[in-house]
Amino acid sequence: MTADNNEQQYLQVNEQTIPVDPEGYLRHLDDWNEAVAEQLAAQEAIQLTEAHWEILRVLRQFYQQFEMSPAMRPLIKAVANELGSDKGKSIYLMSLFPGSPAKLASKIAGLPKPTNCL
Amino acid sequence: MSDTKKSFLIINRKAPYGSSAARDALDVALTISVFEQPLSLLYMDDAVWQLLPDHQAGAIGQKNLSANLAMLEMYDIDQLYVCRQALNQRGIRPSDIKLNITLLDSQGIAALIKQQDQVLSF
Amino acid sequence: MTTLHLINKTPSESSALRDSLSAISDGDALLLIENGVYAAMPAYAERFTRLPRTIQCYLLNNDALARGLNDLNPDFGAIDYDGFVELSCRYNKVVSWF
């Protein structure tokens, strides 16, 4: 915890000033667009490719249907359902979103941080 | 019974939205599933109201529990048990419920509880 | 003096519904809110059949929508938050049963 936690933080994308939480997750779902995603990814040192985008689309669809961000296991399941079992693997998701794919990909997809995620 | 796995049962007894009980139970269920422990959910009394589909919880500024319950199978939480009498008393038909459920009478509920290592009640 | 009776519990989680129905008078109104809206499901219709015709019954539609309730008891008028405010002003006092 830092003293900055109570201060409103923003992401500046082109002309848009977008409020984010202290961990960098968007505060408002509707603020998301492709340029915002590019910038969120850049902050994590990720250059988005089509392989990333298709995962982000699966995540956005998951959120639209279930109104929660998935933890790792349901994310893998959703990716396997939508994009095939070759991609529905944790090693593949780790290669695109290193570290904690469920948290990182949710952030770039403009979704809330997944709860219950180790 | 293995050393590393314990079976869990979460008993739901409260209607959604009127209190945080339903959401608390869901949070605990998702957390238990992340630890890959065998998990069953039981809905009795007013908690069977949680199972009605198509909530529009935005109308009261809350998150949509029916969308979240539909998500449970993505977490491999697929053991959903429902008290038959609780449905009957409230005029809810099993076919009204879009989730994959198993109906239990009171004997079945007693047996379900008996076979668990841990039982949590909400 | 007229009274608006508010009920915010399901018929089985407290005695609020039963107690309010035994304490209600001619010219009063009943409004189901929060978990109280479940009382307008058809399974409970029988509990309201003995109410005098002078008693108006309402439910807060936002709470019914939130809970996915359909085919509600037609004796209940569905109101929104503005209607809730309006009813609260129309009756001399409000009694909350919970």
Residue C19: strand, helix, or coil: helix
Flag whether B2 is in a domain: no
Amino acid type, B60: I
- Smallest CA-to-CA distance from A106 within A67, A70, A73 is with A70
Rounded CA gap, B77 and B99, in Å?
A: 11
Shortest alpha-carbon distance between residue A9 and chain B (Å):
24
Residue B51: strand, helix, or coil: helix
- Smallest CA-to-CA distance from C35 within C12, C52, C55 is with C12
- Tell me A13's DSSP state: E
Rounded CA gap, A97 and A86, in Å?
A: 16
Tell whether C84 is within 8 A of chain B (Cβ). Answer: no
- Angle value at C-alpha A96, between A91 and A98, nearest 5 degrees: 75
Rounded CA gap, B103 and B97, in Å?
A: 11
Flag whether B3 is in a domain: no
Tell whether B19 is within 8 A of chain A (Cβ). Answer: no
Domain with residue B58: its CATH number is 3.40.1260.10
- Token reading at B68: 């979240």
Domain range holding B114? Answer: 8-121
Tell whether B96 is within 8 A of chain A (Cβ). Answer: no
pLDDT of residue A115: 84
**pLDDT digit string, tens, across residues A87-109:** 999 999 999 999 999 999 999 99
List CB contacts (< 8 A) between C13 and chain B.
14-15, 18, 46
- Angle value at C-alpha B96, between B91 and B97, nearest 5 degrees: 115
Residue A96: strand, helix, or coil: helix
**pLDDT digit string, tens, across residues B76-93:** 999 999 999 999 999 999
Flag whether B30 is in a domain: yes
Rounded CA gap, B86 and B64, in Å?
A: 22
The answer to whether the beta carbons of residues B17 and C67 sit under 8 Å apart is: yes
Tell whether C96 is within 8 A of chain B (Cβ). Answer: no
List CB contacts (< 8 A) between A66 and chain B.
67-68, 70-71, 74
Domain with residue A42: its CATH number is 1.10.10.370
- A117 has a pLDDT exceeding 80: no
Using CB atoms, which residue from A67, A77, A78 is nearest to B64? A67
pLDDT of residue B2: 52
- Tell me A53's DSSP state: H
CATH topology of domain C3-97: Hypothetical Protein Ychn; Chain: A, (3.40.1260)
A1: confidence class by pLDDT, cuts 50, 70, 90: very low
Residues of A annotated as catalytic are 117
Amino acid type, C73: N
- A14 has a pLDDT exceeding 90: no
Rounded CA gap, B16 and B55, in Å?
A: 10
Flag whether A115 is in a domain: no
Tell me how many residue pairs between chain B and chain C have CB atoms under 8 A apart.
Answer: 59
H/E stretch holding A32 reads none
Domain range holding A74? Answer: 3-108
Flag whether A62 is in a domain: yes
Flag whether B85 is in a domain: yes
pLDDT of residue B3: 64
The DSSP line for C31-87 is EE-GGGGGGGSGGGGGGGTTS-TT-EEEEEHHHHHHTT--S--TTEEEE-HHHHHHH
What is the percent of chain A where pLDDT is above 70?
93
